[in-house]
Amino acid sequence: MDLSNFSAWLAEAAREIGAHSAACIRMDNPILRQRIEGNSTQVANWLKLGMHGEMDYLERMVPEKSNPWQTFPFARSVIVLTFTNRWGDIAATHPFPVPANDALLGYISAYARGADYHRTGQTILSKLSVLLGENIHTEATVDTAAVYERLFAAVGGLGMMGDNNLLRVSDSGNSRIFIGCLFVDSELPEVIFDPQISVTCESCSACLKNCPTGAIQPDQPIDARKCISYLTIEKRGTLSREEGKSIGSWLFGCDDCTMVCPPRVKVDMRIPIDLEWLFKVPASEIRSTIKGNATAYAGVTQLRKNAVVVLKNMQTLRAQDLLQWVDENSGSELIRRQIGSW
């Protein structure tokens, strides 16, 4: 580690370990404290409005997120990385079997191509920790701890927050990136950028126009209760008729706001899933298939519950036949409740 030219060293280290960009912020940076305090107030109001839905863990995390100086008492600096995990790469592979041409299909978000981003990020940050040196204590987080990671990245100038509530990185405006933080017990030189994005959110509105449920509204916090990603991943109970209609053919996540941010020619990189395969293959085999994939967070029962809703939305004879088979053969009370819910 070269402290005399730390900015150049960090940029080279980021390139070497496979990150997209990197910044470094001192934990005593007054702007960081100001931004965290302001963000915590906004989050508290958002939670008070109930826009987090069933994600009660977000409320429990507020004290830790609002005070990273206490959550990471050893930390004197934090290095923030962005990485793509091949999100948006048309050549990225996924573990799911290729459906037949006439298969009944549901879809999984393109970010589930490749390895689980949590694993990728932890690997990248572990490599960075080694490069920093043996005598430096670090702690890595990749959406795995109570950290305002997008805020840290924004304070570091790695990008700007988009209307879709995702970080848009400076060089391209792309919002299809992930963020990791490495808290460090050393007072490292700050590396903070002035983000420049050619197509600003103010001159665009593609994500708002493309959101099929109205979860994204101008100058308003995102209403998670309407977000397809929340409904398919985080909501673990049955979906109402209105919620079910809103998810369309999605089984896990949604690409509608990221596909158009920044404005680009749309390329459909959803992962198509044969719904008959999803229901009729043993759960143990599916768990083996999704091991190490982002969809493992949802689990087999959640994917199947969403698939019930997708079949209901199809309103075809083949879909009804498969639903009847599921009702007669499923051992999941949740799935049977979803079949009979509307």
Q: What is the pLDDT of residues 37-62, one digit of tens each?
A: 999 999 999 999 999 999 999 999 99
Last residue of a domain, one of 181, 202, 223: 202
Percent of the chain at pLDDT above 90?
Answer: 88
Higher-confidence residue: 91 or 251? Answer: 251
What span, in angstroms and rounded, lies between the C-alpha atoms of 338 and 263?
A: 37
Same domain, 58 and 118: yes
Average pLDDT value for residue range 312-326: 97
Which domain, by its residues, includes 275? 204-340
265, pLDDT greater than 70: no
The per-residue pLDDT for 172 is 80
Same domain, 160 and 283: no
What span, in angstroms and rounded, lies between the C-alpha atoms of 300 and 334?
A: 12
The per-residue pLDDT for 330 is 96
Last residue of a domain, one of 202, 229, 251: 202
264, pLDDT greater than 70: yes
Report the first-to-last Cα separation within the chain, whole angstroms: 60
94, pLDDT greater than 70: yes
125 within some domain = yes
- 339's tokens: 């079949």
2, pLDDT greater than 90: no
Cβ-count burial of 47 within 10 angstroms (0-12 exposed, 13-18 middle, 19+ buried)? middle
Percent of the chain at pLDDT above 70?
Answer: 100
pLDDT-based confidence at 288, cuts 50/70/90? very high
Convert the pLDDT of each residue in 184-213 to its tens digit: 999 999 999 999 888 888 889 899 999 999
- 205's tokens: 């509105």
The per-residue pLDDT for 256 is 94
Question: What's the residue count for the chain?
Answer: 342
In 3-state terms, the chain is what percent helix, strand and coil (to 5)? Answer: 45, 10, 45
Same domain, 158 and 188: yes
Same domain, 180 and 139: yes
Same domain, 280 and 254: yes
240 within some domain = yes
What span, in angstroms and rounded, lies between the C-alpha atoms of 257 and 12?
A: 32
Convert the pLDDT of each residue in 120-136 to its tens digit: 999 999 999 999 998 99
Active-site residue numbers? 143
Residue 78, beta-bridge partner list: 25, 183
174, pLDDT greater than 70: yes
pLDDT-based confidence at 21, cuts 50/70/90? very high
97 within some domain = no
Q: What is the pTM of this model?
A: 0.93
Same domain, 235 and 186: no
Average pLDDT value for residue range 219-232: 96
The per-residue pLDDT for 83 is 96
74, pLDDT greater than 90: yes
Last residue of a domain, one of 177, 202, 227: 202
Same domain, 198 and 220: no
- 50's tokens: 């109930």
Convert the pLDDT of each residue in 24-41 to its tens digit: 999 999 999 999 999 999
154, pLDDT greater than 80: yes
266, pLDDT greater than 80: no
Cβ-count burial of 55 within 10 angstroms (0-12 exposed, 13-18 middle, 19+ buried)? middle
320 within some domain = yes
The Cβ of residue 134 has, within 10 Å, a number of other Cβ atoms equal to: 6
Average pLDDT in the chain: 95
Q: Please give the tally of structural domains in the chain.
A: 2
143 within some domain = yes
The per-residue pLDDT for 252 is 98
Convert the pLDDT of each residue in 144-153 to its tens digit: 899 999 999 9
The per-residue pLDDT for 5 is 95
What span, in angstroms and rounded, lies between the C-alpha atoms of 235 and 203?
A: 34
Average pLDDT value for residue range 297-308: 98
100 within some domain = no
The per-residue pLDDT for 171 is 78
37 within some domain = yes
> What letters, b where the CB count within 10 A reaches 16 and e where it falls short, cover 73-106?
eebebbbbbbbbbbbbeeebebbbeebeeebbbb
DSSP H or E stretch at residue 199? none
User: Is the preceding peptide bond at 262 cis, omega within 30 degrees of 0?
Assistant: yes
